[in-house]
Amino acid sequence: MKILGIETSCDETGVAIYDDKQGLIANQLYSQIKLHADYGGVVPELASRDHIRKTVPLIQAALKQANLTASDIDGVAYTAGPGLIGALMVGASVGRSLAYAWGVPAVAVHHMEGHLLAPMLEDNPPAFPFVALLVSGGHTQLIKVTGIGEYALLGESIDDAAGEAFDKTAKLLGLDYPGGAKLSKLAEQGNTSRFHFPRPMTDRPGLDFSFSGLKTAAANTINLQKQDLDEQTKADIARAFEDALVDTLLIKSRRALDQTGFNRLVIAGGVSANKTLRSKLAQLMAERKGQVYYPRLEFCTDNGAMIAYAGMIHLKASQFADLAIEVKPRWPLSEL
């Protein structure tokens, strides 16, 4: 059984084909970073227009990569939310229309479930149950996962997501968009003891996050140092910011593991590519004699492979979309 997956929730157009026997057999991705760089962030209308231009050519490229034709496809999965409504509508319209034209089922996939299941694409996938830390530009969530579709929200950000805080702080430091990865690279040269930022909401019980205050602390420090904001000072601020954010994620993840009693941790989403975060979580799980799981770097950011895999799971469970094309810009994972 083979399924085509389409991801168009934000600023990456991803198309992939997953075979339930062979695994991932095609993966195509186009990033809109250059398109949005001049604006310092994603422009929704431009994102939608670019998805219109790129989705069908990427589908054709994926079929060619897998040496398949439309008649070989058993289902079409597409991201139905959450995300930018215009961008979602492009993928959903193309995906649902193709499924109708090809006479195969369509599957509407939750974007965050795709991220949560991305480590299942690896050779050593996690077994259930586990705690999932989903960290991206739009979401920061801790999820209790006991099986496919069995997701309980433990905590989430009440304001900025972790990736959003990374990008906004990077912009304050004068780094080009998207700045999160550039900030982390700069932090490698930073002095760990020069600046210290708060670890938000770690002095109280609970598993929710807040990163707006951390961003403000960084902004105030940058403003105080503006007369002497050389490259080393920028690196020192970047290091203090990254350490504070990573420590916060670490503390909350430890609490979630304690609360659930689980010894497996999955981390996914764009921020899961952060080297410092990976290192500290690996150390945490080693101390607990548990295991931590990540998707490979190419599957940390938005991609069609995770949508194709999640779509295959739902296809086998006969969970199909009807003919109406419906997307959900806001869609709690707990509703699945």
Q: Is the pLDDT of residue 336 over 90?
A: no
**pTM for the full model?**
0.95
- Cβ atoms of 329 and 85 within 8 Å: the answer is yes
pLDDT at 40: 86
Query: Percentages helix, strand, coil for the chain, rounded to the nearest 5?
Result: 50, 20, 35
Supply φ then ψ for residue 125, to 5 degrees: -75, 155
- Cβ atoms of 16 and 5 within 8 Å: the answer is yes
Report the C-alpha gap between 113 and 317 in whole angstroms: 15
Report the C-alpha gap between 249 and 140 in whole angstroms: 9
Tokens of 214: 């951390």
With pLDDT > 70 as the criterion, what percentage of the chain qualifies?
Answer: 100
Q: pLDDT of 70-91, one tens digit each?
A: 999 999 999 999 999 999 999 9
Residue 182 — pLDDT band, cuts 50, 70, 90? very high
**Residues in binding site:** 111, 115, 134-138, 167, 180, 274, 302
Domain 128-294 architecture:
2-Layer Sandwich (3.30)
**Residues in binding site for Fe cation:** 111, 115, 302
Residue 165 — pLDDT band, cuts 50, 70, 90? very high
Residue 4 CA: distances (Å) to CA of 137, 278, 306, 310, 323 = 25, 30, 11, 11, 18
Q: pLDDT of 283-316, one tens digit each?
A: 999 999 999 999 999 999 999 999 999 999 999 9
CA angle, residues 284, 288, 290, in degrees to nearest 5: 90
CATH class of the domain defined by 2-117+299-335 = alpha beta
CA angle, residues 334, 80, 148, in degrees to nearest 5: 40
**Residues in binding site for substrate:** 134-138, 167, 180, 274
Counting other chains too, the contacts that 155-160 makes at CB distance below 8 Å and 24 or more residues apart are 155/206, 155/207, 155/208, 155/209, 155/252, 155/256, 156/208, 156/209, 157/208, 157/209, 157/210, 157/211, 158/208, 158/209, 158/210, 159/210, 159/211, 159/212, 160/210, 160/211, 160/212, 160/215
Span(s) in the chain for CATH 3.30.420.40: 2-117+299-335, 128-294
